[in-house]
Amino acid sequence: MKRWLCAGVVHLLGNMWFLWLFGRTVEDKTGWKNYLLLFTASAILSATLFISTAADKTIPCVGASGAISGVIGAYLILFPKAKIRFHIFGKLGTYRTTTFVPAWVYILIWLGLNVAYGILQSGSQAVAVAYWGHIGGFIAGVIFAELYKNLKQG
């Protein structure tokens, strides 16, 4: 049986998409040192929540999803009015239109899916994606961004 360090190619591409979509903006706002701190803290809380919720404590957990989820959480707090541009395509890939969706809507849908899949996965011995790890990283990112904002203002 072949084992991946990540849940698979689609998961890896999803991680890269979220990092591209949110990462640079958060780093530009916080600076690279704070961004590194955010990434590290998110990875640690992600691993902690995953380990505390995993039914099988021997499951290896390798990846950056939790840290990237922290970047998403920080983005939600630091850029609450941001919008994400979506291109909508019709049949056979023909371009239809462009629309803008508030980032908070996109992020809350993502968070809701992670919570739902995490609940469905609870108690399972087979874990391909650490959904609770995503949520732990997200929580760390929200906390980090709130602390960052308060320290910058005060």
Q: Is 122 a catalytic residue?
A: no
Long-range contacts of range 116-123, CB-CB < 8 Å, 24 or more positions apart?
118/53, 122/53, 122/55, 123/55
Q: What is the DSSP string of 67-112?
A: HHHHHHHHHHHH-TT-EEEEEEE-GGG-EEEEEEEEHHHHHHHHHH
Q: Is 69 a catalytic residue?
A: no
Q: What's the CA angle centered on 15, arms 10 and 17, to 5 degrees? A: 90
Of the residues 52, 65, 69, 87, which is catalytic?
65
Of the residues 42, 46, 69, 134, which is catalytic?
134
Which residue's entry shows tokens 């983005």? 75
Extended strands (E) in the chain:
83-89, 95-102
Any idea which residues carry the catalytic annotation?
A: 65, 134
